[in-house]
Amino acid sequence: MQLGTRWTSGDEPPTSVPSAVAAAVRDVDATLGSGGPRPRWTLTWLEGRPIAELDSGVIVELDAEGAAVVRHDDEDEFG
């Protein structure tokens, strides 16, 4: 079992975040405005696969080939 972690958007992702996910997280962070409180990322592991979710609902996960995929939690992943 792997434990997850949380960090604030704009901060460097913890070393436990896989590099492909961390790179995509940095890309998402770069698109966010600097005004107001910064949202937080939550890293969880599902069946050994990392999933980073921003408080706003943006999700970064790895596809079957190990490439990072960015989506919003209201997108239909089967459609």
Task: Please tell me the predicted confidence (pLDDT) of residue 55.
Answer: 95
Q: Locate the DSSP E strands across 23-66.
A: 40-46, 49-54, 58-62
Instruction: Identify which has the larger pLDDT, 24 or 48.
Output: 24
Q: Say whether pLDDT at 53 is over 90.
A: yes
Q: Specify the 3-state DSSP secondary structure of 31.
A: helix
pTM of the model: 0.86
Output the pLDDT for position 74: 75
| pLDDT at residue 77 in the model | 53
46 token code pair: 């599902």
Mean per-residue pLDDT for 41-50?
93
Evaluated on CA atoms 31, 34, 38, 43, the torsion sign reads positive
Mean pLDDT of the residues in the chain: 90
